Amino acid sequence: MAPPNPPLVPRRDEVIRRHRSSGGRLAAVLPIHYSRAVFRAHRMLPVEVWGPPGIDTSPGDAHLQSYTCGIVRSSLAFVLSGGLDVADIIVVPHGCDSLQGLGSVLLDFAKPRQPVATLYVPRGPRSASVVFLAEELRALSRRLSEISGIEPTLDELRQAIAREESADRALADLLDARPHLPFADADFYRVARAREYLPAEDFEPLARAMLAERVAAKRPGIPVVLSGLVPEPMNFLGAVADAGGVIVGDDLACLGRRRYAPGRSDDPWKHLAESLLDAPPDSTRGSSTADRLAWIEKLATDSGAKAVVFYLVKFCEPELFYLPQLRQGLEERGLKSVVIETDIAESLSHQAVTRLEALLESVS
Amino acid sequence: MSDAASIRALGIDAGSTTMKMVGVDAEGALVWHALEEMDPRIEAQAERLLDVVRADGCPDSLPLIATGYGRRLITRADRKVTEITCHARGVHRELGHGGTLIDIGGQDSKVIVVSEEGKVVNFSMNDKCAAGTGRFLEVVSGRLRMPMDAFADTALAADGEVGISSTCTVFAESEMISLLAHGAPVERIVRGLHRSLVQRVSALARGAGLRPPVMLSGGVARSRAIRTLLAETLRQEIVLPRHPQLMGAYGAALLALGA
Ligand code: SF4
């Protein structure tokens, strides 16, 4: 039987145009962790900027060291070439030193036409983290008020949180059902990553439509877990399929590591902070290697994966830091892995494909 | 019956600098081979080699597997398999044991940890930089106008070594010129250049989790100096297959045979 057609995903530029023409405001948000509900309570749509891939990065090169990752490099070039002019504010969460550096470049040197706000997400589990992050989110909200002219009530914030949590549940269901969803990986990621720019209420029906196609049988192919930052360049997903692989588990920072569960506190700010801090282990939040290892192993066990592909953005220091121990730990647990480093501004190399194929051949 | 007449499966390794074709008999023995400089028209070159083997008496319509950098361009192949899997299979069959295979090719080098059953346990590749590959030796020996054999002999005859600090082929070349200009003896520089490649490859091998014995394949395996310095640096004896350059194509032929 032919696989069902994937749901039609609205394009990012269409969504932005529609939102703009209805008088809505827009925030350009850099990776990785932040609370969408805060923006939505200000009737502002957060649209994430993961690069974007494949653009000329030279406009930003003068501000950056040569070993800065492609996400930061492309993002800065995009800002400088007017790509984010449509946004009312640029928000830079401090996910890593490179993003923190980008925040400083934007605030002190490049000075885009719109205001720039930062958000510090604490690294490592500390007792004060929830209170600190809750205060950071409040400060961000005050900053957004200057643009939106809105001071959301706690009830309005709670309503926004409820909408986002519902969409987050749909995303988590998608991730869980992945081995049983009869869609190509590229189609799956197109839908799942629409969370990066679609309003929660538009994303959820899309995710549910995909979930409605769930079948009992697992997708045929060599099952792998995908780890790393972001599946760019996207033709990597086609290369996995061509090599006979299927992605059944996701540990990507842009997706699986943002599987946010609801917070515990009644206070909405603490509730939001808990939700971000309790997300799956992540290099950019300074999770321990043991936690990351246990999480990836669980993803592999639950999904029946035979190997792990670390698909990394070149020069991504937080990710590279964990790799030797993660790979050794996985090997001790009988899981083979491979590291594929790419630059989001470049196309997928022949060598990257060979590494992937060699891994799949060795577990098939 | 000619050797080619006994061929039951073929393997082609379309590497970055040479194309190799191997034929195996029903038992998987390597009975025929050809090796040529790489032609940019990969598919046409593969066809030509197929004509050669047929002219030698090889039966038509045999299973064929392609490997190597240009494997995708060989449309006649029944399957395309990576050089990692093929090298592991070829060297395991040839030597009869597992270990760590170091393959130093023209434009990349790889380390493959092979299990006692001939399976790939782990691998790592230097595929981004020419400094740990045959290309490095080619560039620096060419600059000194020394043929490869003389280049290796010079390194082994040296009574000392000059350290080469550059980690890049282009910079190593300029460093070499600068050392010569400062009067450093050429043979010590040559030994230092060999050491520089060996150190890079050794680091790759240790990173992959070196498991003895160490086996060596690829065109660079023919260099006595590289074998000697590699043994010294890794403190391991180096085991060499009979045809170090053919291990990829041999593995491909064995896979085509289903052996
Ligand atoms: S790719 Fe890595 S280094 Fe770059 S912004 Fe993301 S986390 Fe930071």
Query: Residue A237 falls within a domain, yes or no?
Result: no
Higher pLDDT, A113 or B179: A113
**What value does the CA radius of gyration of chain B take, rounded to a whole number of Å?**
19
B151 at interface of A, judged by CB pairs closer than 8 A: no
Residue B9 has pLDDT above 80, yes or no: yes
Say if residue A263's pLDDT is above 60.
Answer: yes
| B128/A354 Cβ within 8 A | no
Please work out whether the CB of residue A30 comes within 6 Å of at least one atom of ligand 1: no
Q: Is there a domain that residue A16 lies in?
A: yes
ipTM of the complex: 0.76
Q: Is A192 within the bounds of a domain?
A: no
Report the CATH number that the domain containing residue B72 is assigned in CATH.
3.30.420.40
Contact call for B81 and A354, based on CB within 8 A? no
The answer to whether residue A276 is domain-embedded is no
Q: Please give, rounded to a whole number of angstroms, the shortest distance from the CA of A354 to a CA of chain B.
A: 6
Q: Is A48 inside a domain boundary? A: yes
Which pLDDT band holds residue A349 (cuts at 50, 70, 90)?
Answer: confident
Instruction: Give the model's pLDDT for residue B2.
Output: 65
pLDDT digits (tens, 9 = 90+) for A264-304: 999 999 999 999 999 999 999 999 999 999 999 999 999 99
For residue B17, the model assigns a pLDDT of: 84
At B132 the pLDDT is 67
* Within-domain flag for B127: no
d(CA B154, CA B141): 11
A100 within some domain:
yes
| Residue range of the domain that includes B44 | 3-91+246-257
| Residue B220 maps to a domain | no
Would you say residue B59 lies in a domain?
yes
- What residues of chain A have any CB closer than 8 angstroms to a CB in chain B? 331, 336, 349-351, 354-355, 357-358, 361-362
Residue B29 located in a structural domain: yes
Contacts 24+ apart (CB under 8 A), B146-153: B146/B190, B148/B222, B148/B223, B151/B190, B151/B223, B151/B225, B152/B194, B152/B223, B152/B224, B152/B225, B152/B226, B153/B224, B153/B225
With H, G, I as helix, E, B as strand and everything else as coil, classify residue B241. coil
Q: Whose CA is nearest to atom 1 of ligand 1?
A: A316
For residue B137, name the pLDDT band (cuts at 50, 70, 90).
Answer: confident
Asked if pLDDT for residue B46 goes beyond 60, the answer is yes
Residue pLDDT, tens place only, A137-196: 999 999 999 999 999 999 999 999 999 999 999 999 999 999 999 999 999 999 999 999
- Answer yes or no: is A91 within a domain: yes
pLDDT of residue B130: 65
Q: Is the pLDDT of residue B138 over 60?
A: yes
What is the B188 CA–ligand 1 centroid distance (Å)? 44
pLDDT at A318: 92
Contact at CB, B82 and A358, closer than 8 angstroms? yes
Give the CATH number of the domain where residue A33 resides.
3.40.50.11890
By residue range, what is the domain housing residue A103?
Answer: 12-150
pLDDT average, residue stretch A22-46: 96
What is the tens place of the pLDDT at every residue in A51-65? 888 888 888 888 888
Residue A350 resides in a domain: no
Domain count, chain A: 1
pTM beyond 0.95: the answer is no
- The domain total for chain B is 1
Quick one: tokens of A6? 């994937």
Q: How far apart are CA A91 and CA A106, in angstroms?
A: 10
Inter-residue contact A54 to A100 (CB < 8 Å):
no
**B120·A362 Cβ contact <8 A:** yes
Give domain status of residue B199, yes or no: no
> pLDDT averaged over chain A?
94
